[in-house]
Each structure stands twice: as structure tokens, then as C-alpha cells.
A and B are shown apart, each in its own frame.
Chain A
Amino acid sequence: MQKEVVLDMKNLSISFKTSAGEIKAIRGVDFTLYKGDTVAIVGESGSGKSVTVKAIMGILSGNETINSGTIDFTYRRGEKVIHEDLLKLSKNQMRKRINGKRIAMVFQDPMTSLNPTMSVGAQVMEGMIYHYGTSKQEARKKAIELLELVGMPEPEKRMKNYPHQLSGGMRQRVVIAIALSCDPEVLICDEPTTALDVTIQAKILELIKDVQEKLGISVIYITHDLGVVAKVADYVAVMYAGKFIEKGTTEEIFFDPRHPYTWGLLSAIPSLEKTEHSLYAIPGSPPNLLNQVVGDPFAPRNLYALNIDYREEPPMFKITDTHYASTWLLHENAPKVDMPAQLKARIEVMKKEVRDIGK
């Protein structure tokens, strides 16, 4: 079944000019988003996740240079199907045509994402009025419907409230309502639940999943939390030092990870089972991207590093049609290395659970 391609990013490279030098934040990223899918981009802070999606939205800070790459966006305007390279659009064009209208974003910290001096209603209505010229009454009606959709109690009352009068969870719902207000085709969520309580987290994730199914939106999640990934994603891309190092379906990544970094991430999830003696943490810290990357950037922290890792950066090796990883361990000449025993045991437990639940 041929799925429609919505977003196709090819070989994106972006660097930033700072007073300390040039930071090569993204160094060749490829990624495809299919209609109706949920893709999760996983990685540590500073890996380049936010920069990638901000590049899609065209809201980078201004001191960036796009060294290479294209972001092909496919959307419908009425009957016509339109392809556009988002990177070639001017800021004005992006704002008028794409931002909010076709691609919308949900931000991380609900405490600071809303304008403190504008009422909730005004903020939700703004997009519709601006992009579609909706009348105030129409917009107001739709806004109340949206607030209801996102599970806001007493939506009419909330319209007049100001952000500081709402709790974190409710604010995030408002942010989601704003994102959905213009019927976008793609929703980008940048760590939408990191700043929320665990109980609220689950609710928000459910909400987004609900909305996605109802409206047929494609979603990109940015997160460092593998628990979130397991819950929502169809497809996972793991990012390290500005590049994807492993991509695959959620099952493939969780049950058959191939890159040592992914092994590290999965091992680091605390387990409720008392079988382990110590918490695992990937030693060392991510590389300073001010410096030119030679070889595999993960090599210094990689227990399974090969000599070649210090000379050449590994290409993407194909494992299945959907599963790729960029590690020299997948080369035919590489020694047969298996994932750490602890991790293997864990995965067996996970598989068993899944079988039992009958998911």
C-alpha cells in the first residue's frame, strides 16, 4: 500500500554563526514523513532535533546558514496537489502559506508559550482570522469547538481567561488548540509533555493521538523520552550529533536495535524489575559541534568502537526496507557484536509483555 509522502527532507545541513565560532548543528539529515504517520525524533539535548523541525517551519533564529538540502512539502490546495521546497520560500511566503496553515507546531513549555497579555480566545482565534479571513463570530464558534475537542472544561468561560489563570496542562491544551485551529496537515510537537506532570503527560499524548486519528494529520514528535516514543510513534529516528544514526519502525527500534547508541538509550531506561544492580548511563558527553567531526561522532563514548570509527564516518546500512543504521558494525567485515546481555534480557521481557497483552 503506497502511502502518500507528505514531507521529504533530503541531505539537510545547517550551521550557526556564534561568537565562539561556527557550529555545524545538522550535518546531512534525510527523513520522510508519510500521511497519517507519527514519527518520533529521539536524541539527547543538543543533538539537533529542534533545529531540524524549526528548519521545516522556517523559524530558526536568524544566524543560520543552510549549507545544503531540500525539504519537499506536498499539500493540496483545493483540487491541486502542490510540491514546494520549503527552504526556498521567503519568510513572508512561509508565514502566509505554510506556518499555522499547513504545518503547525506545539512547543515544549506551556508556561511560556502563550502570550500573557492576550486572552485565550484571542490567541486561538487569531490564526483563523488571519489565514482564512474568518469572521469574528465564526472564529469564536470554532475556537470554542476546538477547546472542547482538546478536552478543556467549560470552553466558553476559558475564552475570556488569560494564560496565567490556567494550569500547565490546560495551557498545553490551548497550545494544541491553536495548532489545530487552521486544519494543518502536519503537526510538529517539540517535547510537548516534558514540562508537565506524568499524569497529565499521558492525557496530552492520548489527546494528540485522538486528534490525529480523527483528522488524519501526520505528526512529528520530538522527544528524549523513549516511553513517549513507545506510546505514540509508528516510526522512530534516532539523532546524534546532528545526524540520524538509526531509523526504523517502533518495533524494529525497540526489539532489534543495531546502533550502540540506541543500545545505550534503551539500556538507560530505568526498569521496575529488580533484576539489575545499577542504573546504566552512557558515559561521556556529546561532542562539541564547534569542531569538525572526524569519523563516527559517537566513537569516544562507544564501548564497541572499531578503529575505523575514528577515521571514517559510517554510512547508512540497510537492515530491512524500513530499518537503517549508520554504524560500521553492520559492515560485512565487522566482528559479530551483540547487544549487551542486560539489554537483551530486557527486550525479551518486553516482547513477552507485548505478547501477553496481545497488542
Chain B
Amino acid sequence: MKKYILKRIGISALTLLVILFILFIMLELMPGSPFNDEKLTDAQRAIINAKYGLDKPMFLRFFNYLKAMISGDFGVSYNISKNTPITQLLQSRLPLSLRIGGQSVLIGTIIGIILGLIAAIKHNTIFDTLTTVISVLGVSLPSYVFAMGLIYTMGFKLKWFPLLYQMEAPFESTILPTVALSMFTIATVARFTRTEMLEVLGSDYMLLAESKGVDQKRLIFVHALRNALIPIITVLAPLIVSLMTGSLVIEKLFSIPGIGSLMVTAIQSNDYNVIIALAFVYSVMFIGIMLVVDILYGIIDPRIRLAKEDLHE
């Protein structure tokens, strides 16, 4: 078990290193960075190079770069907000994105599990078909399609929810974006729960529990659910990816001042420092969550947590 955790941590650290290396290379290759400005004379260029240590060998530069990134020093923004330390930009925006992301994961997972449960229990009835339809739609349509649909119907025509993010109504104005963002989660979780539940319900140990005389409710919630839900953790990976990509679009659509819309703005205005910094932040989040998920899985599933003891008859 410990070996398992250590191995996971090791790979995560390695991955982060590789990513940083890639980011570093990208930074070097970025066209039109301020240090390559043609208007500079050679002398000026020499001064800038010395000042920023650009004339040192790549190894050293990479090392400095590593140091800086890991300590959170992401440099300053050039185009979005001249000379503002990027960390400052992130401070105000990160919590908001995390909140919306967290909300949609929570809601999405809960609704997804409920839908999947119902579909499995009422197998081959209208509920089942309905859930399957919702699942396929939720997985096939990009989140911004839902977002636009929601904006148009609920926000625009029906005026039930505010269209744009407002700081004065932090909860209400995030309802629509959260729903749009959670569609993929709902669809994936529902489908997965349904499949797992069906498999569990048909297994031998369920039959044994039934023969013990356990009542229906207990059968499902105590015996079946445990087994069906453990693998759900494995679905979290594509979910997080979808959240990250979805958040960019959703934040733009709803004018939410989070890191997603910051990324979009940075891309559109070629602010490379910000782009790279955000890429790093996203990578750390992704790797971090994957690590937590892997470890969690090892803890929750007793088959992994406890090794087989050497027992004799």
C-alpha cells in the first residue's frame, strides 16, 4: 500500500518536471516576446540579456526557471495588465473558478449517481431509456451548447437567472454556468453508475444477500451501492479535463472573472507569461487531483488497501 502511494507520488513529480521542461521550451520559442524586439540595438539587448540572465547556459536558466515557478513567482503580465505580477491576477480569480468548478462537480456527481441508480433499478423501463438519452446528449454536446441554450431560454427569454456574473449575487449568478458545466459530469456519472450497478445487481453476492432475507432498501444502499460507487473515482479524470476546458468557454460566455476567462484573454492578446503561468497552474491542479484520486482509490477499495494474508486451511 505504501509502495503504491510512493510510486504514484513519484510519477506525479516526474510528470510535473516534464511539464515544466516543456513549458520552459515553449517560453523560449514564443514568437515576439519582448526580448526579441527588433527595435532594440545590440547594446540594449546585451544589457537586457544580462539583467534577466538570458545569456546564461540553458541548464542554468531552466534551473532558475524551475525555482521561480515552484515558488510561485510567475513573472509579470505584459499585455493584459502591464507589469502586474501574475500571482496577483491569480489571487482574485482562482477562488472563483475553483468554486464554480467544485459546485458543478458536486451537483453533477450527485445528480448523476441518482439518475444512474434509478436507471439500473428500473432497468429496461422508460426511466432507463430516458437516462440513456440524457447521457448520450450530455456527452456528445459541448458544454457551451448547453450554456447557450440555457442563456437563451432561462436567462434571456424567461429571465429566471442572471445572465452575467455579478459580485453582488455570487450564488445566483453562478447557477447557470454551474449547470452548463455540470452536464458532462451528469451524463458520464449517470452512464457509469448505471453500468456498474447493473453488474453488481447481477452478481452472486447480491443473490446471497437476498437469500439472507435482507430487504430491498438495504440491499441496494448497503450492499450494492458500495461496490458500484468505488470505481466512479476512476471516471474523475475525464471529468476534470472537461471541467478545465469547459470553464474557459463558460467563463467567457458568462463574463465570469476567473482564470478561464483570463486564459482566453491572454491567448487573444498574446500575453505569453500569463499563458505559461496558467498552463502551469492547470497542470498542477490536474496532476494534483489525479494523485489524490489514485490514493483515494487505494484507500477506499479494501481489495487494494489490505493485501492478501498468508492463511492456511
Contacts and interface: CB of A to CB of B under 8 A. Distances in A.
Interface of A: 57, 59, 92, 94-96, 98-101, 104-105, 107, 109, 112-119, 126-127, 130-131, 153, 161-162, 164-167, 169-170, 175, 178, 200, 203
A157 to B, nearest CB: 9
B207 interface: yes
Given A117-B302, A164-B302, A112 B204 contact: yes
Given A117-B227, A162-B306, A200 B313 contact: yes
Nearest to B304: A164
Given A107-B207, A114-B205, A117-B301, A95 B311 contact: no
A96 B213 CA distance: 6
Contacts of B227: 115-117
B226 A100 contact: no
A165 B208 CA distance: 19
A131 B216 CA distance: 14
B141 interface: no
7 contacts: A107-B207, A107-B211, A115-B205, A115-B227, A116-B205, A117-B302, A161-B309
Contacts of A175: 208
Contacts of B157: none
A126 B209 CA distance: 9
Contacts of B312: 153
Contacts of B223: 115, 118
B230 A165 contact: no
A295 B222 CA distance: 49
The listed residue with most A CB atoms (<10 A of its CB), out of B203, B207, B227, is: B207
A340 B41 CA distance: 111
Given A92-B215, A130-B213, A118 B207 contact: no
B306 A165 contact: yes
Contact of A165 (B205, B210, B311): B311
Contacts of B218: 130
B303 interface: yes
A95 B301 contact: no
Given A96-B215, A115-B223, A164-B308, A170 B313 contact: yes
B213 A101 contact: yes
A201 B199 CA distance: 30
A107 B307 CA distance: 25
A136 B216 CA distance: 22
Contacts of A127: 212-213
A57 B215 contact: no
A131 B218 CA distance: 13
